[in-house]
Structure 1
Amino acid sequence: MLKLFQYNWQVREDWFTWCEDVPEEELLKKRTGGVGSILYTLFHIVDVEYSWILSLKGEPEPEEPPFEAYASLARVKEFSKLCHKEVKPFVISWTSEIESQTLSETNSSGETINFKYGEIMRHVIAHEIHHIGQLSVWSRELGKEPVTANLIGRGLFD
């Protein structure tokens, strides 16, 4: 599982680099599909990963910060770095014993829903990959080559 998180973190950094050559108005432009804009999508990816990992750590999930406070590439990158400092140690310390632990959440109807930690971790991985696909579509709409989604050749298994 660690390798897939490392893959996502590498790809995310590649997207941040990709964004450096795109005018900010394009990064903030509302797009069809996904969660809105390129920059908001990157912000959303970080926020979801951070929120779930905090929950798994038993820490209170913060309210989603307003995107307006982070609506620049530099601020989203800084938000990512800050969240990563808390996320990475938890991911690195993952063991098979944690896999089947249960997290109980209360939904908006007041019902308690139980999730296995392993299920949440895989959801976080898949969530980012899903949104990276959307970024790839938008990059082609801008006439730019997307970041490669290839896991092979990233040095993760060296």
Structure 2
Amino acid sequence: MTPNELIQLAEYNKWANQTLYKSCANLPEADYKAERPSFFGSIHNTLNHILVGDKIWFGRFEGAPEKLSLSDILYQDFSSLQTARESEDARILKYAQSISQDTLDNDLSYKNVAGDNHCDPMSALLRHAFNHQTHHRGQVHCLLSQTDVPPPSLDIMYYLRAQD
């Protein structure tokens, strides 16, 4: 992984989140928070989980780990969650824009949420963080397909073509 590849992933992440949140904003609150068969139980809870995951991982990357549980609900309403998502995406992009190849080529020692110590290649951990976002955005996409709001296309190719 190179710094430029990381920046591209951070920019795509921001675009994909904006696109997904734009669709979710069209849901009535009852549909947005409705219990649905899924790991986190609703669109709202899944979007919260993505944010929690980002806060945990990027806190570790920045050397200021956050004490959160993977099922924490940080915001009870869509508007507050959307504002926090925009702030987190700006944080992620700023981090990506400041990273060095040396940092990408080294390992990161950290404690996971269970308190276990680990040391893994930084580039693999960053790929994991972005893959985690994509995985759960896909779950939200599926949950949206169970509503009257059509799920948006989130493929990275659509993002790349929008940049031309």
Is structure 2 residue 52 aligned with structure 1 residue 47?
Answer: yes
54-63 or 109-118, which moves further after superposition?
A: 109-118
The amino acid that maps onto 1:23 is: P
| Matches of 2:72 and 2:88, distance apart in 1 | 15
How has the CA–CA distance of structure 1 residues 77 and 105 changed in structure 2, closer, same or farther, with 3 Å as cutoff?
A: same
| Matches of 1:110 and 1:147, distance apart in 2 | 37
Could you tell me whether the CA contact under 8 Å between 1:102 and 1:115 is conserved in 2? Answer: yes
State the shift of 1:110 in Å.
6.2
Q: Which residue of 1 aligns with 2:36?
A: 31
Q: Which residue of 2 aligns with 1:115?
A: 120
Is structure 2 residue 109 aligned with structure 1 residue 104?
Answer: yes
Provide TM-score, normalisation by structure 2: 0.82
Could you tell me whether the CA contact under 8 Å between 2:40 and 2:46 is conserved in 1? Answer: yes
State the shift of 1:84 in Å.
3.1
The amino acid that maps onto 1:113 is: H
Q: Which residue of 1 aligns with 2:143?
A: 138
| Superposed CA RMSD | 2.3
Where does 1:72-91 land on structure 2 (aligned, <5 Å)? 72-91=77-96
Secondary structure (helix, strand or coil) at the match of 2:21 reads helix
| Matches of 1:10 and 1:16, distance apart in 2 | 10
Could you tell me whether the CA contact under 8 Å between 2:10 and 2:89 is conserved in 1? Answer: no
Gapped regions of structure 2 (runs ≥ 5): 1-5
The amino acid that maps onto 1:56 is: F
Deviation digits for residues 50-91 of structure 1 (CA, Å, limit 9, x no counterpart) = 221111111132435952x51211010122133334332111
Provide TM-score, normalisation by structure 1: 0.85
The amino acid that maps onto 1:57 is: E
Higher relative contact order by CA 8 Å / sep ≥ 6: 1 or 2? 2
| Matches of 2:55 and 2:111, distance apart in 1 | 19
Deviation digits for residues 84-136 of structure 1 (CA, Å, limit 9, x no counterpart) = 34332111122321113222234577653212111111011111111111112
